[in-house]
Amino acid sequence: MDTGNRPGTSYWDHRQARMVTYPKALAASGANSAQARAAAQRAAVAQDAEAFWEPHYASSQVGNGAPNAVLVDIVAGLAPGSALDLGCGQGGDSMWLARRGWDVTGVDVSATALHRVADLAADQGLSERVRVQQHDLSATFPQGTFDLVTASYFQSPVAMDRPTVLARAATAVAPGGMLLVVDHASVPPWSWADPDSVFPTPQQTLDGFRLDPGEWDVAIAEDRDRLAAGPGGQHATVTDTVIAVVRRAPTPTAAETRSAPPRRPGDRALKVSLDRHARH
Ligand SMILES: C[S@@+](CC[C@H](N)C(=O)[O-])C[C@H]1O[C@@H](n2cnc3c(N)ncnc32)[C@H](O)[C@@H]1O
């Protein structure tokens, strides 16, 4: 495909819904770390997701283990239930959910990342609440339905039909449950990706889920800015795309309403609080 991009730049491939990066730019940028360059160069030759992500995790500890701030903001008000964390990495989100009482299944293509999640859960006495499953989500998907399906920065330079994976993720949301997707929508100066990368709009991302409008409510579909910290302690404002959609639950009977219903994403009280988020 001729994208019109210079060798050495990155662009968002709308058809494959992935960042595509040409390695030459990485070598040209003195600001980028050798590790990031090596990772991106591996991406250029990787045949599959595991070939890229397993060395990424095996070569170092990645990240600081903190949960995604958007996840915390949106999910803190929900009563815990079952959760599926797609592309969980080293489990910052999974562990936060488990500490809040959620019964979590963390999924990733990297066995090393999943071992770290399992070890963390054991260290914190949360093994009963955290299970891990290794999947290349392009090929296989966990069984079952969940009250919350979440995907934080489930983005990869390796070819992936992400819209199809996220459409499959929507089918794993239980009635009354939520699908929450938080994506990078800009590139910080320290990233190996090109700062001129073009990302899909929230609406384009949402359209990729192929949701039946009769079955889903869109609680949030917007870009949000945040202050990001780089590996050298530097800071920059970056943008995330945030999509939260709620699968409608069957209308409860009067008797069910009287008997202290659990507070799930589809509940009216919660809907009000999500609407509040949507106005931000
Ligand atoms: C950018 S990281 C985000 C990790 C974590 N959710 C976070 O927010 O820190 C993307 C994650 O998705 C995983 N991943 C990428 N492609 C995948 C695939 N095809 N199947 C399963 N996991 C995948 C990677 O291993 C990696 O852990």
Lowest mean pLDDT segment, chosen from 57-61, 100-104, 269-273: 269-273
To the question of pTM greater than 0.85 for the whole model, the response is no
Cα separation of 217 and 207, whole Å?
13
Cβ of residue 92 lying under 6 Å from some atom of ligand 1:
yes
Distance 54 CA to ligand 1 centre (A): 10
Instruction: Please state the rounded mean pLDDT for residues 45-74.
Output: 86
Q: Residue 222 pLDDT > 90, yes or no? A: yes
Cβ of residue 155 lying under 6 Å from some atom of ligand 1:
yes
Cβ of residue 263 lying under 6 Å from some atom of ligand 1:
no
Q: What structural domains does the chain harbor? A: 10-58 (no CATH), 69-278 (3.40.50.150)
Task: Choose one of 48, 97, 108 to mutate for the ligand 1 pocket test, by most ligand atoms within 8 angstroms of C-beta.
Answer: 108
How many Cβ atoms sit within 10 Å of the Cβ of residue 207?
Answer: 13
**For residue 92, what pLDDT band results from cuts at 50, 70 and 90?**
very high
